[in-house]
């Protein structure tokens, strides 16, 4: 069973490193297809060199599983552009922060097996040849679509080995919503105030995060997910504590003047609230503020 990893981003390189350790058959599909020598520092400081088996999109069809560890805003473009290279026997795996891409991929590739996933691993790519594994997290997977001939057990075993510990969910959406809530609180606040995640435990942020949890909990309940705002706050504060020294991905994106994933995080929440006929002023305010920042530097 061959795995294609799309892109040599931070999470893509982490997957490649793990494939290599597990001696799996895999290829990394990059835009240029040029060779990449990677120096990997693992979470306990050990260093290893790795020559990535890089291929171009022409080789995409020679694989059984296609993992898309891309930014949420890159998913639709990738699938639209390369749809003709993907055949119906291939299983796609969406692995990104934020929500809103599943529907798009299902529309574009209705006959493929599809898995949605989320991970709390930490990976940092300071340059094209360096990967720093910052933290061993946990990963959640769930089938969105399964074709008749899909080798379910083999796919699950491979993916479970790649980002352990792994949980497989009958309905992945609750796990995705939980991660969405965590990102909706931590990412925009750390980006707007330019602080590490741990700063959000301060009382000046806790009232706003608590109000945000009430907003998200109300919305989740409208969509059929039961999770009280206190439980949500507890989960967010655990991530704040566990990743206290880290700067969130949105903080880093704003710092580097890159596009953020705000449309797929607070933006997705605002859209869903509208559909439910609910107001979500705190999410909307965070969304507008990040959009204003982004618009200024992306012009
Ligand atoms: N890094 C982390 O620790 C974590 C990240 N996540 C989430 O995982 C997702 C991926 O994050 P991360 O790895 O950090 O992001 P990166 O930006 O490092 O990785 C995305 C990679 O995909 C490449 N890419 C995009 N489109 C294409 C394409 N059409 N063909 C080939 N390559 C392409 C990008 O190349 P280019 O730069 O040229 O566009 C880039 O190298 C995000 O949603 C992030 O929020 C979740 C948990 C932890
Ligand atoms: C969980 C969190 C907030 C960790 O920094 C993250 O996923 C991110 O930075 O995008």
What residue's CA is closest to ligand 1, atom 33?
Answer: 7
Taking the CA of residue 248 as reference, the ligand 2 atom at the shortest distance is 9
113 lines ligand 2 (CB under 6 A): no
Taking the CA of residue 124 as reference, the ligand 1 atom at the shortest distance is 1
- Residue 259 domain boundaries: 174-298
Q: How many CB atoms lie within 10 A of CB 199?
A: 15
Q: Are residues 96 and 226 in the same domain?
A: no
Q: Are residues 74 and 179 in the same domain?
A: no
Ligand 2 site-directed mutation target among 122, 192, 194, 239, most atoms within 8 Å of CB = 239
State residue 107's pLDDT score: 98
Q: Are residues 124 and 16 in the same domain?
A: yes
Q: Are residues 147 and 256 in the same domain?
A: no
Taking the CA of residue 252 as reference, the ligand 2 atom at the shortest distance is 9
187 lines ligand 2 (CB under 6 A): yes
**Residue 50 maps to which CATH number?**
3.40.50.720
Q: Are residues 215 and 78 in the same domain?
A: no
State residue 135's pLDDT score: 82
Number of domains in the chain: 2
Bridge-based pairing of strands 113-119 and 91-95 is parallel
Last residue of a domain, one of 170, 195, 223: 170
Last residue of a domain, one of 118, 149, 170: 170
Taking the CA of residue 261 as reference, the ligand 2 atom at the shortest distance is 10
- Sequence-distant (≥ 6) Cβ neighbours of residue 268 within 8 angstroms: 98, 99, 100, 180
CA of 214 to the centre of ligand 1 (A): 31
Q: Are residues 135 and 13 in the same domain?
A: yes
Ligand 2 site-directed mutation target among 237, 248, 252, 253, most atoms within 8 Å of CB = 248
CA of 75 to the centre of ligand 1 (A): 10
Q: Are residues 147 and 255 in the same domain?
A: no
Q: Are residues 75 and 104 in the same domain?
A: yes
Q: Are residues 77 and 217 in the same domain?
A: no
How far apart, in Å, are the Cα atoms of 106 and each of 2, 37, 52, 90, 116?
22, 35, 30, 13, 11
Element (H, E) at 47: strand 47-52
Answer for the pair 209, 200: CB distance below 8 angstroms, yes or no.
Answer: yes
Distance in angstroms (rounded) separating the CA atoms of residues 231 and 217: 9
Last residue of a domain, one of 170, 190, 214: 170
Tell me which DSSP letter residue 265 carries: T
Q: Are residues 234 and 221 in the same domain?
A: yes
Q: Are residues 73 and 114 in the same domain?
A: yes
Q: Are residues 41 and 154 in the same domain?
A: yes
**Residue 214 maps to which CATH number?**
1.10.1040.10
pLDDT digit string (tens) for the chain, length 299 residues: 999 999 999 999 999 999 999 999 999 999 999 999 999 999 999 999 999 999 999 999 999 999 999 999 999 999 999 999 999 999 999 999 999 999 999 999 999 999 999 999 999 999 999 999 988 899 999 999 999 999 999 999 999 999 999 999 999 999 999 999 999 999 999 999 999 999 999 999 999 999 999 999 999 999 999 899 999 999 999 999 999 999 999 999 999 999 999 999 999 999 999 999 999 999 999 999 999 999 999 98
State residue 182's pLDDT score: 97
Element (H, E) at 144: strand 139-145
State residue 136's pLDDT score: 87
Answer for the pair 108, 79: CB distance below 8 angstroms, yes or no.
Answer: yes
């Amino acid at each position: 069973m061959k795995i294609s990893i799309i892109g040599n981003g931070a999470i893509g390189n982490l997957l490649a490193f793990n494939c290599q350790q597990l001696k799996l058959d895999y290829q990394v599909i990059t835009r240029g297809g040029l060779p990449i020598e990677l120096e990997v520092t693992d979470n306990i400081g050990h260093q290893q060199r790795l020559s990535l088996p890089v291929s171009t999109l022409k080789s995409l069809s020679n694989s059984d599983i296609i993992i898309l560890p891309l930014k949420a805003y890159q998913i639709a473009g990738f699938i639209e552009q390369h749809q003709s290279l993907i055949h119906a026997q291939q299983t796609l795996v969406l692995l990104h922060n934020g929500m809103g891409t599943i529907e798009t991929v299902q529309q574009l590739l209705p006959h493929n097996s599809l898995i949605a996933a989320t991970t709390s691993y930490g990976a940092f790519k300071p340059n094209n040849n360096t990967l720093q594994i910052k933290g061993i997290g946990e990963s959640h997977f769930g089938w969105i679509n399964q074709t008749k001939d899909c080798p379910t057990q083999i796919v699950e075993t491979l993916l479970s080995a790649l980002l352990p510990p792994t949980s497989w969910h009958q309905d992945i959406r609750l796990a995705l919503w939980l991660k969405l809530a965590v990102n909706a609180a931590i990412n925009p606040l750390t980006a707007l105030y330019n602080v590490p995640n741990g700063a959000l435990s301060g009382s000046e942020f806790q009232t706003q995060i608590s109000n945000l949890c009430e907003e998200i909990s109300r919305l989740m309940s409208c969509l059929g997910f039961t999770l009280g705002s206190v439980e949500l706050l507890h989960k967010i504060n655990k991530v704040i504590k566990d990743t206290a020294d880290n700067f969130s991905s949105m903080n880093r994106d704003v710092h580097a003047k890159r596009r953020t994933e705000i449309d797929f995080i607070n933006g997705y929440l605002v859209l869903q609230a509208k559909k439910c006929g609910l107001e979500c002023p705190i999410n909307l305010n965070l969304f507008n503020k990040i959009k204003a920042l982004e618009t200024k530097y992306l012009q």
